[in-house]
């Protein structure tokens, strides 16, 4: 573990080497949330955007950093694998392992999940967090919102070279570089690479091994070509590869503490869950842990006809995700008593996903009062899962099964979409968007114990409209209102997924989710645009929610998915940025999203003898989020611009289940940094989680696989960490 005093001394020494630069006022950011270029203050939807300057200023490197600075957006791995669960406006994925309700995109291309996306942050032009259903523009799986990484295209005019590095406590280091520039008239390239490693904040209390550690490599290449007599055509090809190894996560079990029913087995945890590093233990040293590989390729072509622009996006993604972890979250050894498992439990799963997508758009260009867009979309995805996990209570728990449970899924998605907008009077514009979406899903399930594979299939169809009315009262003041619908396709409960025999027929399929969103807001700038203040209010109606439940199969409790009731909520968010002069910058935001699930009682809760009122806070979703920060810039003659920065991030308590009894507690983190900059050079010394807030990151209900007793799993928080960052640009 690196000594903090060494880092402090290194930071002071580095700071003395850096000469001066004046700090320019932040300009309005351009976004493409509606598939066209609009400034952040002009687009009539709720968007948080981070361009290169803001990313550098806030030191954003992953989705957690974005969540700290975005009201009504939280991100946690939520004890899930392959990248984590984003939550926007209180809407996430109540079902463990479910497809997220927030879409994750790179240049408008669906990434499928959050895996590997944070490794792309060093090669982005902009990151956009779009709140509310975005189905008409982005398609499937954007029920709550979308996060779009806009990549940096190669520079056609000049050579660029960059280097970045970071070193911090707990064995954390990161190095990255990027080169871009022209190779001929109208032709340019870029290549970027990143390497980072982290020992994790915690160690196995029994073995001393690292927990929560990671090691990753990412490579990204780009080719950009402009051609035509007036450079009216452009082709941009982007290739990306990432390889990430993740160690056993820092999770542990917490036993129930309250008798909640008349039976001895009816127990629950009531109160705030606590994380204890002394409880961390696993047998992970003997396992492979988690390996993720992602291959991404996309070709973007545009042609400007003068009055209209044609766009094509062709994309191919392939991923390999291997999990081999200790999933009883203890260091218990193998121990069998007759046919009863008393000790270790291992989970091993190999997942391969391959997809291809094609989008075509034709849209108007120019500045007239009438704008239009039409387009089509196709995506095919092949998913294969091989589950080698030992069968619980039927043999040694650490020895992998010789044959896997096999699940294959083929998904074909079709979409046709369009939009019309008209400026009725100067400043008053009405827009109508509509998308027809169709998902054809077929699955084959081959449990290792079954001689015949099970087959499942369904088609989900939906019409997804959005209406927007906006009034640009003045160049600096805009009001808007919208009505939008979003969806998330359904799926199947299959035998391979449960690891046991097939579930009863009535539970084999679950349906599609739908959401209606009603929103109104304003965007304003004041005092010669030194102050921006934006706010919105919304009401959500969410139906047929995909939630966790349980059934008994061959005497064992098996987790399944059901469409459990509906949810409703009215909330708001606001953000402001004030820079009265180059010396001071103040910013902040506040989000409120009290989404309540109605008419649904989790069978796990009911089986524990707990009665709920059916109006409970969604699991993993906070009611309140907020952030505030200040930057003080001090010009030092012949030295540089010294900056002092402090950030506070707040998240109210979240619950492990809709029973609203076991909670994480609220979380407040304070990050500070001091640094110097000049053109092309930036260095900073930082302390994250200055006051070492110990509220757990996330929690969920859990069935102890060794005895089927109810317990809870908690993810321990990030500890206070001191580090140094350096970036050089040419």
SS (H, E, C) 291-359: EEEEEEEEEEEEEECCCEEEEEEEEEEEEEEEEEEECCCCCCCCCEECCEECCCCEEEEEEEEEEEEEE
Q: What is the DSSP letter of 608?
A: T
- Alpha carbon 690 to chain centroid, angstroms: 24
pLDDT of residue 10: 38
> CB–CB of 285/333 below 8 Å?
no
> CB–CB of 605/269 below 8 Å?
no
* Residues lower than pLDDT 70 in the chain: 1-27, 77-83, 94-98, 113-116, 118-120, 335-342, 391-397, 451, 495-502, 553-557, 614, 706
Residue 112, phi-psi category: left (phi > 0), alpha (psi -120 to 50), beta (remainder): left
For 318, the token pair is 């392939």
149/118 Cα distance (integer angstroms): 10
> Distance of CA 13 to CAs 10, 56, 325, 713, Å?
5, 21, 43, 44
Residue carrying the six token digits 């090691």: 215
How, if at all, do strands 509-510 and 491-492 pair?
antiparallel
Residue carrying the six token digits 């007239």: 368
For 342, the token pair is 């008393």
> CB–CB of 99/114 below 8 Å?
no
With H, G, I as helix, E, B as strand and everything else as coil, classify residue 439. Answer: strand
pLDDT of residue 612: 74
pTM exceeding 0.85 = yes
For 618, the token pair is 């969604």
With H, G, I as helix, E, B as strand and everything else as coil, classify residue 290. Answer: strand
Please, which residues have CB within 8 angstroms of residue 617's CB and are 6 or more apart in sequence?
Answer: 594, 595, 596, 597, 623, 654, 655, 658, 660
> Distance of CA 688 to CAs 19, 172, 668, Å?
26, 13, 12
> Distance of CA 99 to CAs 111, 144, 264, 500, 525, Å?
12, 12, 35, 22, 38
pLDDT of residue 21: 31
68/72 Cα distance (integer angstroms): 10
Domains of the chain (ranges; CATH) run 30-729 (2.40.170.20)
How, if at all, do strands 172-184 and 160-168 pair?
antiparallel
pLDDT of residue 23: 32
pLDDT of residue 97: 55
pLDDT of residue 345: 80
535/42 Cα distance (integer angstroms): 13
With H, G, I as helix, E, B as strand and everything else as coil, classify residue 22. Answer: coil
With H, G, I as helix, E, B as strand and everything else as coil, classify residue 369. Answer: coil
> CB–CB of 471/435 below 8 Å?
no
> CB–CB of 320/326 below 8 Å?
no
How, if at all, do strands 102-106 and 172-184 pair?
unpaired
Q: Which residues of 217-243 are buried (b: 16+ CB within 10 A; e: fewer)?
A: ebbbbbbbbbeeeeeebbbbbbbbbbb
pLDDT of residue 337: 55
Nearest to 172 by CA among 125, 235, 128, 215: 215
- Alpha carbon 320 to chain centroid, angstroms: 19
pLDDT of residue 284: 82
- Sort 508 into a burial class: Cβ within 10 Å, 0-12 / 13-18 / 19+: middle
């Amino acid at each position: 573990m690196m000594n903090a005093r060494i880092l402090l001394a290194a930071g002071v020494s580095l700071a003395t080497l850096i000469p001066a630069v004046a700090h320019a006022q932040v300009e309005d950011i351009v976004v493409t949330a509606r598939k066209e270029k609009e400034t952040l203050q002009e687009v009539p939807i709720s968007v948080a955007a981070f361009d290169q300057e803001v990313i550098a200023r806030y030191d954003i490197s992953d989705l957690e950093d974005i969540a700290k600075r975005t009201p009504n957006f939280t991100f946690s791995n939520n004890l899930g694998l392959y990248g984590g669960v984003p939550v926007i406006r209180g809407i996430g994925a109540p079902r463990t392992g479910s497809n997220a309700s927030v879409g994750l995109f790179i240049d408008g291309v669906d990434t499928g999940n959050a895996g590997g996306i944070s490794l792309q942050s060093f090669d982005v032009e902009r990151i956009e967090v779009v709140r509310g259903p975005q189905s008409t523009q982005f398609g499937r799986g954007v029920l709550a919102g979308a996060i779009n990484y806009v990549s940096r295209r190669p520079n056609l005019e000049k050579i660029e070279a960059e280097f970045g590095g970071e070193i911090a406590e707990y064995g954390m280091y990161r190095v990255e570089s990027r080169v871009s520039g022209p190779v001929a008239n109208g032709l340019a390239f870029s290549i970027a690479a990143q390497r980072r490693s982290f020992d994790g904040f915690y160690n196995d209390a029994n073995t001393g091994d690292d927990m929560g550690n990671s090691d990753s490599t990412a490579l990204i290449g780009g080719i950009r070509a402009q051609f035509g007599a007036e450079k009216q055509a452009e082709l941009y090809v982007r290739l990306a590869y990432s390889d990430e190894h993740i160690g056993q996560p820092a999770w542990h079990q917490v036993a129930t503490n309250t008798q909640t029913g008349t039976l001895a087995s009816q127990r629950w945890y009531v109160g705030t869950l606590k994380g204890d590093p002394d409880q961390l233990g696993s047998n992970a040293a003997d396992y492979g842990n988690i390996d993720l590989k992602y291959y991404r390729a996309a070709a973007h072509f545009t042609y400007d006809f003068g009055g209209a622009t044609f766009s094509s996006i062709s994309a191919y993604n392939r991923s390999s995700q291997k999990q081999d972890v200790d999933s009883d979250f203890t260091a218990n050894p193998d121990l069998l008593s007759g046919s009863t498992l008393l000790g270790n439990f291992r989970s091993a799963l190999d997942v391969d996903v391959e997809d291809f997508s094609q989008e075509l758009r034709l849209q108007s260009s120019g500045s007239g009062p009438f704008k239009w867009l039409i387009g089509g979309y196709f995506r095919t995805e092949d998913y294969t899962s091989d589950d080698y996990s030992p069968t619980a209570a039927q043999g040694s728990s650490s020895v992998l099964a010789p044959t896997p449970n096999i699940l294959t899924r083929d998904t074909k998605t079709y979409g046709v979409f369009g939009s019309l907008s008209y400026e009725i009077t100067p400043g008053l514009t009405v827009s109508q968007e509509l998308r027809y979406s169709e998902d054809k899903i077929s699955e084959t399930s081959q449990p290792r114990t079954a001689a015949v594979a099970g087959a499942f299939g369904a088609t989900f169809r939906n019409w997804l409209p959005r209406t927007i009315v906006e009034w640009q009262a003045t160049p600096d003041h805009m009001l808007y209102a919208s009505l939008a619908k979003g969806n998330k396709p359904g799926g199947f409960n299959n035998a391979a997924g449960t690891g046991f025999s097939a579930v009863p027929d009535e539970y084999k399929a679950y349906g599609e989710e739908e959401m209606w969103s009603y929103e109104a807001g304003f965007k304003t700038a004041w005092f010669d645009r030194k102050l921006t203040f934006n706010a919105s209010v919304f009401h959500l109606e969410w139906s047929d929610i995909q939630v966790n439940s349980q059934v008994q199969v061959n005497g064992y409790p098996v987790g399944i998915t059901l469409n459990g009731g509906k949810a409703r909520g009215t909330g708001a968010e606001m953000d402001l940025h004030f820079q009265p002069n180059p010396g001071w910058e103040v910013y902040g935001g506040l989000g409120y999203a009290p989404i309540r699930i109605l008419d649904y009682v989790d069978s796990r809760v009911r089986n524990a003898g707990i009665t709920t009122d059916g109006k409970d806070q969604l699991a993993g979703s906070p009611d309140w989020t907020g952030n505030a920060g200040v930057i003080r810039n001090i010009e030092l003659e012949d030295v540089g611009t010294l900056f002092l920065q402090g950030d506070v991030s707040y998240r109210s308590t979240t619950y492990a289940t809709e029973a609203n009894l076991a909670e994480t507690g609220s979380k407040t983190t304070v990050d500070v940094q001091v640094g110097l900059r000049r053109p092309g050079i930036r260095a900073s010394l930082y302390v994250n989680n200055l006051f070492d807030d110990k509220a757990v990151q996330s929690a969920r209900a859990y069935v102890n696989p060794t005895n089927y007793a109810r317990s809870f799993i908690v993810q321990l928080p990030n500890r206070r960490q001191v580090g140094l960052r350096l970036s050089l640009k040419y």
